[in-house]
Structure 1
Amino acid sequence: MTPTPFQLHVPEAAITDLRERLARTRLPDQAPGEPWAYGTDLAWMRGLIAHWLHEFDWRAQEARLNAWPLFSVPLAGIDLRYLHVPGVGPRPMPLLLSHGWPGSIFEFMDLIPRLADPARFGGDPADAFTVVAPSLPGYGLSFAPGQPRFSVEQIADAFASLMSQTLGYRRFATQGGDWGASISARLGLVHAERTIGVHLNLLPLRRDPAALVDDDDAARRYRIDLDRWLSEETGYSTQQGTRPQTLAFALTDSPVGLAAWIVEKMRAWSDCNGDIESAFSKDEILANVSLYWFTGAIGSSFWPYYARQHGPWPIPDGETVGVPMGYCEFPKEIVRPPRSLAARTFTDIRRWSVMPAGGHFAAMEEPEALAAEIRAFYRPLRAD
């Protein structure tokens, strides 16, 4: 399993095909009522399509990604691609950084330098990390048609192999949100001897109202948020978790359909007060969407939803994660369970920080704040 350098290069014919498809887009009408009330807004999408067609520069985004040390290694039956960025400091700690859905390694472009070279941003070089950021199996760079599909449990095992066997890190730190949070927690459970700690910006707990027995302010707030989430925000996961192949036909064939599916989540789950461009630029949005488009990976990216819906929870009932855990609660995260509930799964919570701003895509929305929290959590664990 020898890694080899990798560079992403989308054929020019694929870029031409995308532009031709964008130019031929057939749009729906706008449902009555307020913009975004029933999903992605027509007027806003017209602007995004125009930007994608006439102004967006994929080659610039491709070069931005290729500027990092990118590698490929045959692992777990696929070619796993990952960034491997050496830390700049006296003793960099290896850190596995895992993204989720509908994200990609593009999420980490502003976070990685703050972790690998903190002194460049006014921090302490002693806090440096050597960052390993894989493209999740079945996502973007780590996808090829017909390859095996991966559950969270299988991804965690593959990443443990990448870090320990391929890269030679006896122990390593973990960080993640969305599926990356579940992957990190799973590593802390089944590969505890290798895991220095688990840092999360989403709590991967079962979303079961019956599990909430406390009746303090945090529990009441969570119950309200959870009720809304279960009634209004879970349609996407039900579809992706039950009939992923059917949805894949539409989103693999229509770039605008793909963008609308992803954009609606980026707006709904971010701290943008309804204005998505206050959180992300059009270029940031389209870099992520375009990676899904050019790699054809949207269908396989649904698989963790299917595996979770048809299999056990990654942290089985009655089991707990005992390695040190840290958590950032961003105010516009999709759900924010209280600490009392988290403590039933994570038995060694070392840091619990309530953040002033940010949402589900914290690495993009608040990279400086998230980097500072990751550094602070792992600082006392460096001596272990």
Structure 2
Amino acid sequence: MADDSEIRPFRLDTSEEAITDLHRRVAATRWPSRELVTDRAQGVQLATVQELARYWTTEHDWRAFEAKLNALPQYTTEIDGVEIHFIHVRSRHEDALPLVMTHGWPGSVVELLDTIGPLTDPTAHGGRAEDAFHLVLPSLPGYGFSGEPTEPGWDSGRIARAWATLMARLDYPRYVAQGGDVGAAVTDAMGRQGPEGLLGIHLNLLAGALDLKDQLPAESEQERAARDAVDRFMTDGFGYFLEQATRPQTIGYSLLDSPVGLAAWMLDHDTDSYYKISRAFVDGEPVGNLTRETVVDNITLYWLTGTGASSARWYWEFARFKAAAQASGQAPPPVSVPVAFTTFPGEIWAAPRSWVETVYPSLGYFNEVDAGGHFAAWEEPDLFTTELRAAFGPLRKS
């Protein structure tokens, strides 16, 4: 009988038939007419998606990405009945601090790949040996190469417990955790659960702002701007969130049937990221590392793994967990470890320090940087790395 706790090597091997079918489906796309406005007010613009489709079938090299991924140490292990895929890169510096980083939606491990070198080998990237991390990058359940849950209940708390199991299975008795987007919710849950060995957490999205908006300060210009950004998201940027939180199965039929439909759905996330990605395709001028190549790598990963529906189900779990928590009237447990937070200017709402301190009284590190947005590690990996070095530096000797 196989040992459920066994850690098995993983290698990506995509069939040529799968790539051929993808290109055939893209070529057979039935296109809508052009939007009637000059911005994204009606959704993802036709010119952006048509250029993405052209690049996808004529220039994108999936085999190059496959080779890049296979050059990294990848593994799978079963945790709580789900096969979890993860990248595990140990630093050559033995005193490195173990770090588990969690991606979000519509991201994947793709958004974190360019941080691997700077985080694990700092002396080759402008840092010091004492800045080194041993890096664990798991794929969320139902995302990418991780298995799909076969029962409800895989909310952020359950994923957080799975990550604690993973770190223990990798023999890391002390470690830190980081996350943005869905990863921020998972990392927040880890901080509130306080598993043995967790020294601290770093976040770059204040997910709690959605629920606590009316309780957060709105006196300064910065605070009012953040409040306005939350309001705009709730009225004009919430479509994908609402659909996935209420009907992930319904949208899943489209996401698994049309590659271009999947691509458009994934691009229609937040205004800042959308315009940066659109600029990369239409103008050929990427912002940071949001290049045509990496964007299509990420979309292709979702397509080839058929995870459009299963990844969306986290939002359904999130909505039900939140509703149950509100019905109980009980406040969530406090975060029991030090919290670090970085505000990136292009985030959906750029949280001011006063907001972060309200949600996380144990805030130990806070910084506002001058570049980057929602996909901070993807867009600005060097700046992101600098933030993690600073945020977790004080915890290395604890």
Q: After TM superposition, is the score higher than 0.5?
A: yes
Q: Counterpart in 2 of 1:188?
A: 191
Residues 175-198 of structure 1, C-alpha deviation per residue, up to 9 Å, x if partnerless?
A: 111011111111111024321111
Structure 1 unaligned residues grouped into runs of 5+: none
- State the AA in 2 paired with 1:360: H
- Determine helix, strand or coil for the equivalent of 1:312: helix
- State the AA in 2 paired with 1:343: E
Alpha-carbon distance in 2 for matches of 1:157, 1:199: 17
- Contact 2:218/2:227, CA 8 A, preserved across alignment: no
- Contact 2:343/2:352, CA 8 A, preserved across alignment: no
* Partner of residue 68 from structure 1, selected from 68, 72, 79: 72
Alpha-carbon distance in 2 for matches of 1:219, 1:373: 22
Name whichever of 171-180 and 183-192 sits farther off. Answer: 183-192
Residues 280-336 of structure 1, C-alpha deviation per residue, up to 9 Å, x if partnerless?
A: 221111100000000001111112211121223789625321311111100010012
Q: Does 1:83 align with 2:87?
A: yes
- State the AA in 1 paired with 2:383: A
Q: Counterpart in 2 of 1:282?
A: 292
Aligned 1:103-118 pairs, distance under 5 A: 103-118=107-122
Name whichever of 350-359 and 266-275 sits farther off. Answer: 266-275
Q: Does 1:317 align with 2:331?
A: yes
Alpha-carbon distance in 2 for matches of 1:271, 1:118: 32
Name whichever of 52-61 and 304-313 sits farther off. Answer: 304-313
Structure 2 unaligned residues grouped into runs of 5+: none
- State the AA in 1 paired with 2:14: V
Q: Counterpart in 2 of 1:250?
A: 254
Alpha-carbon distance in 2 for matches of 1:168, 1:9: 29
* Partner of residue 302 from structure 1, selected from 294, 312, 315: 312
Alpha-carbon distance in 2 for matches of 1:274, 1:9: 30
- State the AA in 1 paired with 2:322: P
Question: What TM-score, normalized by structure 1, do the two folds share?
Answer: 0.94
Q: Counterpart in 2 of 1:349?
A: 363
Q: Counterpart in 1 of 2:397?
A: 383
Q: Counterpart in 1 of 2:42?
A: 38
* Partner of residue 54 from structure 1, selected from 47, 58, 82: 58
Q: Counterpart in 2 of 1:360?
A: 374
Following superposition, the deviation at residue 257 of structure 1 comes to 0.2
Name whichever of 187-196 and 247-256 sits farther off. Answer: 187-196
Alpha-carbon distance in 2 for matches of 1:155, 1:252: 24
Q: Does 1:158 align with 2:162?
A: yes
Question: What TM-score, normalized by structure 2, do the two folds share?
Answer: 0.91
Alpha-carbon distance in 2 for matches of 1:85, 1:268: 31
Following superposition, the deviation at residue 271 of structure 1 comes to 7.7
- Contact 2:109/2:138, CA 8 A, preserved across alignment: yes
Q: Counterpart in 1 of 2:139?
A: 135
Name whichever of 91-100 and 201-210 sits farther off. Answer: 201-210
RMSD of the TM alignment (CA)? Answer: 2.0
- State the AA in 2 paired with 1:291: L
Name whichever of 71-80 and 129-138 sits farther off. Answer: 71-80
- Contact 2:105/2:311, CA 8 A, preserved across alignment: yes
Name whichever of 201-210 and 14-23 sits farther off. Answer: 201-210
Q: Identical aligned pairs, as a percentage?
A: 38
Q: Counterpart in 2 of 1:200?
A: 203
Q: Structure 1's 3 and 172: CA in aligned 2 closer, same or farther, altered over 3 A?
A: same
Q: Counterpart in 1 of 2:346?
A: 332
Alpha-carbon distance in 1 for matches of 2:391, 2:62: 36
Q: How many residues align?
A: 383
Alpha-carbon distance in 1 for matches of 2:192, 2:275: 31
Q: Structure 1's 63 and 84: CA in aligned 2 closer, same or farther, altered over 3 A?
A: same
Q: Counterpart in 1 of 2:123?
A: 119
Following superposition, the deviation at residue 153 of structure 1 comes to 1.2
